[in-house]
A and B are shown apart, each in its own frame.
Chain A
Amino acid sequence: GQNIDQPTEMTATEGAIVQINCTYQTSGFNGLFWYQQHAGEAPTFLSYNVLDGLEEKGRFSSFLSRSKGYSYLLLKELQMKDSASYLCAVRDARSGSARQLTFGSGTQLTVLP
């Protein structure tokens, strides 16, 4: 099975940098995703890592270490609109072409002025 852990809540200040960690244990790994979800809305795709290393996309970066079962999402130059839940999800490689995602419970980030 899959087990994904991420902190429940984090708080940071506008303009700062925040790192949200995610650790996972999985019987089959085929990629790690980060999604952003504002309250009452659908998750929106932020990043995808399948190989070790850092992927940078504007103010957001995501890092993956497959040997450590570890990823982080780095948010720079925080803005008030970044207040949201950040979901870490692992794609299961076990079952044929099914691209099942297993999600963590999400990290609720609050950005303070």
Chain B
Amino acid sequence: ETGVTQSPTHLIKTRGQQVTLRCSSQSGHNTVSWYQQALGQGPQFIFQYYREEENGRGNFPPRFSGLQFPNYSSELNVNALELDDSALYLCASSPPQRPGQETQYFGPGTRLLVL
């Protein structure tokens, strides 16, 4: 147990719809990163939030957007869903940046299926 929680655990949507995924970070962690993991692949970095601002973005289109709230929880929003968006979406939190505290701790993920 990492203390990182995500909701919902599973979700089924149809092409063109919009989805919001949620993440609560571990207590004391102020940075949240989101990853997409397709079946049989490693996680791919989507973006990272630090103190409520986007702080780095991977190679994902603008229809992937996010928010971080004052309590450091976060949302991932995906508009105009495509079939290829079907994947496990992982949230990872990490503590304030100090040497030896660089580790990211992952939540259980949300499995999204787009039909």
Contacts and interface: CB of A to CB of B under 8 A. Distances in A.
Interface residues of B, number: 27
B90 A45 contact: no
Interface string B74-115: 000000000000000010101001000011111111000000
A33 B105 CA distance: 12
Contacts of A15: none
Interface in B33-57: 33, 35, 40-45, 48, 50, 55-56
A48 interface: yes
B42 A98 contact: no
Contact of B42 (A31, A41, A42, A87): A87
Interface in A85-113: 87, 89, 91, 95-106
Specify which of B31, B43, B50 lies most central, judged by the most chain A CB atoms within 10 Å of its CB: B43
Main secondary structure of the interface of A (DSSP, over half): loop
Given A97-B50, A99-B31, A105 B55 contact: no
A26 B90 CA distance: 23
B71 interface: no
B45 A102 contact: yes
Interface of A: 4, 30-31, 33, 35, 41-45, 48, 50, 87, 89, 91, 95-106
20 contacts: A33-B104, A42-B107, A43-B90, A45-B103, A45-B104, A50-B102, A91-B102, A95-B56, A96-B56, A97-B55, A99-B48, A99-B97, A99-B104, A100-B33, A100-B56, A101-B33, A101-B43, A101-B45, A101-B104, A103-B42
